[in-house]
Structures are given as structure tokens and as C-alpha cells.
Amino acid sequence: MIGFKLWPGRLSTSEQTSLVAEVLAAVEHAPWVQPVTPGGKPFSVQQTSLGPLGWVSDRGGYRYQATHPETGRPWPPMPARLIDLWTELTGWAQPPDACLLNLYRGPAKMGLHQDRDEGDLDAPVLSISLGDTAVFRIGPAEGGRTTSVRLASGDVCALTGPTRLARHGVDRVLAGSSSLVPGGGRLNLTLRRAA
């Protein structure tokens, strides 16, 4: 798809290891939550955020906010290396102001959806995969045929231009395909311009 960019193995093994450690240290201050849809259905992933804004889903709706929904504290800062990666790969003039973390374990997956809660829908979405390989599905915004792509640990991809509003999701995670994340699973970091 035009606008879907993929950098396989963009992060080296050592970069992945140090990034996981840095992110999990930040999660100690912004613990994982089990979000629910506005209708009350629980997500199968656990979530938290880094940066000035975090994405939240609960019975009140989908939104970005400056504080953790359970602790009420500001989100931990986003690691500088993530901002550098965003600048290098997207070329977007403004830095990301939100980094959504999704933790996939067991049967966790993510249904097809569009990222439409951001203030600037022209700004790219940059996604970093760490840990177990995901079977990622992507298709046109207006509907139609989808394509599956395997995203392995260290892969980085972006939704830009014509695919910024592409429907996308994770069909499944290949459990045990990586030992990077303590306790197993896949950690996905998604950088966005929320405001």
C-alpha cells in the first residue's frame, strides 16, 4: 500500500534490549491498565503511555489526556531515542506528543480499526515492534481487501499519507518467537501527534 512504510530489523538486538528496559522502567510509574470500550467490552491487550499525552479508552469514550487514568499522575516522559527515531524516519517537523504502549500476551489481539482520535490526521503514526512476532493486517480506509504482514522484533513501520487512516490490526501474536520481553509477549510502541 502506498504510504505504508516498513523498516525490517531497524533496531539492532542491543537497541531492542535497552529500549525494552527503558520502557519497562517507565511503566513502573504508569502501570498497565486493562482498557474497555465505551460499551464496556475489555480489550485483550494491556495499555499505558509515555509522553505529554496518553490515549485512554473507557466507558467515557476514546481520548487523549495528560494523566494516567488510575493514578492521576502525568505520564512518564518519552525516551529521547524514540523522538529521534520519529524525526529520522518520518521527517515530520513536530515531535510526537504521545507514545501508546500495547502489551500482547496469550491470546491478545487487536481488531481492525483506524487511528482517528488525533488532532492532526495528516501527521504520521510510527509503530515499533518488540518481542514476539505479530501478524499485522492492513487495508484501505474505505474498506476492501486487507493484506497481512509479519512484524518481528526490531521492525518499525509507519502509516503516512494515503494510508494514514488505513484500517489495521493484529490478528495474532506468535507466542515464543522471541525472548526479549520479560514474561514473554509482544510490546508495541506507537508514536503519534495527538494534539
The string of pLDDT tens digits covering residues 110-121 is: 999 999 999 999
Residue 132 above 90 pLDDT? yes
d(CA 103, CA 164): 23
Residue 168 has a pLDDT of 97
pTM exceeding 0.85: yes
Residue 86 confidence class, pLDDT cut points 50, 70, 90:
very high
17, 38 Cβ separation under 8 angstroms: no
pLDDT at residue 2 in the model: 83
CB–CB of 166/1 below 8 Å? Answer: yes
pLDDT at position 94 over 90:
yes
Mean pLDDT score of the chain: 96
Query: CB of 50 within 8 A of CB of 96?
Result: no
Angle of the 80-90 helix axis to the 13-27 helix axis, nearest 10? 130
62's CB contacts (< 8 A; 6+ apart) are 38, 55, 56, 117
pLDDT band with cut points at 50, 70 and 90 for residue 1:
confident
Domain ranges of the chain: 4-192
Q: How confident is the model at residue 34 (pLDDT cuts 50, 70, 90)?
A: very high
Cα 179 from chain centroid?
19
Residue 8: strand pairing partners: none
- 149-178, pLDDT tens digit by residue? 999 999 999 999 999 999 999 999 999 999
Do the strands 133-139 and 147-151 form a parallel or antiparallel pair, or are they unpaired? antiparallel
Show the beta-strand stretches assigned E in the chain: 4-7, 46-50, 54-58, 61-65, 98-104, 110-113, 125-131, 133-139, 147-151, 156-159, 167-174, 186-192
Q: Which parts of the chain fold into alpha helices (H)?
A: 13-27, 80-90
Residue 9 CA to its chain's centroid (Å) = 17
> Per this entry, what is the length of the chain?
195
Q: What superfamily would CATH give domain 4-192? A: Alpha-ketoglutarate-dependent dioxygenase AlkB-like (2.60.120.590)
